[in-house]
């Protein structure tokens, strides 16, 4: 599926945002690739790992993503919408 390489899991997205908000004030600005740990990922996420300690856990291959011209929604169950505490 064409969207698998760039897919971002909801929990990975929340984790990335949390880490950006918790970053030290000395980090005024930076750019990160936020992409889950997908088999065919072609963007490098090493900078996010190095600077923020971000480690994605989601995998696009765990889902049957429906290709609707680039628009899709994946919700395995409502637990994916809740933050881990």
- Global pTM? 0.68
Maximal C-alpha separation, the chain: 42
Domain boundaries, the chain: 10-81
pLDDT 10s digits, 18-50? 999 999 999 989 999 999 988 888 889 999 999
pLDDT value of residue 62: 80
DSSP structure string for the chain? -TTSTT---HHHHHHHHHHHHTS-TT------------TT--S--HHHHHHH-------GGGS----STT-----SSGGGGS---
């Amino acid at each position: 599926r064409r969207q698998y390489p760039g897919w971002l899991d909801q929990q990975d997205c929340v984790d990335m945002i949390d880490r950006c908000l918790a970053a030290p004030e000395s980090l005024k600005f930076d750019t990160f690739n936020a992409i889950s740990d997908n088999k065919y990922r072609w963007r490098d996420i090493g900078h996010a790992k190095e600077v923020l300690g971000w480690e994605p856990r989601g995998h696009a291959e765990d889902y049957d993503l429906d290709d609707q011209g680039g628009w899709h929604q994946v919700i395995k169950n409502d637990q994916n919408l809740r933050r881990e505490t």
